[in-house]
Structure 1
Amino acid sequence: MSKEMMAVLVFGGIAAVAVVMLIMERRGIATRKAARGGREVDVSDLIAFGSAAGEAEKTQTPK
């Protein structure tokens, strides 16, 4: 087997692993979002307020 074919196989394997990891991460995100009742938690809130930001209700805006 030539060096070029080995390079194609190695980089193809790396790409395949990256795609599988992306799919697994997207499924994990969907699972965590479903566990929160469909709410999004902003990362800046987590940095500023810690894990309590993910558990608390969002502030209601006046109607």
Structure 2
Amino acid sequence: MTANSNNGRVRKMKPDELVEIICAGLAKDQYEVYPGLAKLFYLLNRWNPRFLEKKLKQISARS
């Protein structure tokens, strides 16, 4: 699914890391868990959704 999406700029999360983050969130009774850059995207989307959309479009156009 992400074979061509990296371009060497973003480190992909290993499945084991993701499982650890999710399990830690579940142990803390968290309803939402934001692994990796997901928390940054969440905060940017709350702060300025148009800015985030514009930046994501720019990144996808480069791929």
- TM-score with structure 2 length normalisation? 0.30
Q: Which has the higher helix share?
A: 1
- TM-score with structure 1 length normalisation? 0.30
Specify which structure has the bigger relative contact order, considering alpha-carbon pairs within 8 angstroms and separated by 6 or more residues. 2
Q: Which has the larger radius of gyration?
A: 1
